[in-house]
Homo-oligomer: A and B are copies of this chain.
Amino acid sequence: MARQDRTAEARMEFNAFLAVCPSRQLLARISDKWVVLILCALSGDRDASSPEPTAPIPMRYSELSRLLAGVSQKMLTQTLRSLERDGLVTRTVTPTVPVTVTYELTDLGSSLHDVTRGLRTWAQDHMGEVLRNREEHEAPAG
């Protein structure tokens, strides 16, 4: 694809406010807790004390399964397939016995993590404030 095609594309007006726009579906796809957590995991963005992300970290299926506490096989596989399909992660099969499969962020995946990283951080940083708001909302008069 030629340079000018990409430039023209970048100028195309996708608008997620429109129900029929494909970016609406993409937004729905990336607005997902498992997507956010997988992206964080593959970026080595594990806790608040490491604000600056390191280079993408290849991880095996079982490692992801362990790190993302509570995720079902189905959701993990399903989400990884989706991310692979969209070019956000690569899936590499090493023919050992038993087989070894590693997942790694692509550049595109990293660019998304730059955004979604803030989601997890925000949730953790403002959890207390949100909990307090909920309590006040339950009992406004005291």
Majority secondary structure of chain A interface residues (helix, strand, loop or mixed): helix
Indicate whether A85 reaches chain B with its CB closer than 8 angstroms: yes
- Residues 103-120 of chain A, each 1 if its beta carbon lies under 8 Å from chain B, else 0: 000001001101110111
A119 to chain B, nearest CB (A): 6
Q: Are B86 and A133 in contact (CB under 8 A)?
A: yes
Nearest B residue to A124, CB-CB: B14
Contacts of A20 in B (CB 8 A): 69
> Which of B27, B37, B133 is A16 in contact with, Cβ under 8 Å?
B37
Q: Number of A residues contacting the other chain (C-beta, 8 Å)?
A: 64
- 12 residue pairs bridging A and B, Cβ less than 8 Å apart: A9-B128, A15-B47, A15-B124, A16-B120, A17-B37, A17-B41, A17-B69, A22-B131, A27-B36, A27-B119, A27-B123, A30-B123
Task: Known pairs A12-B127, A24-B33, A30-B119; list 8 more (Cβ under 8 Å).
Answer: A9-B128, A12-B128, A15-B124, A17-B41, A23-B123, A27-B120, A108-B129, A112-B122
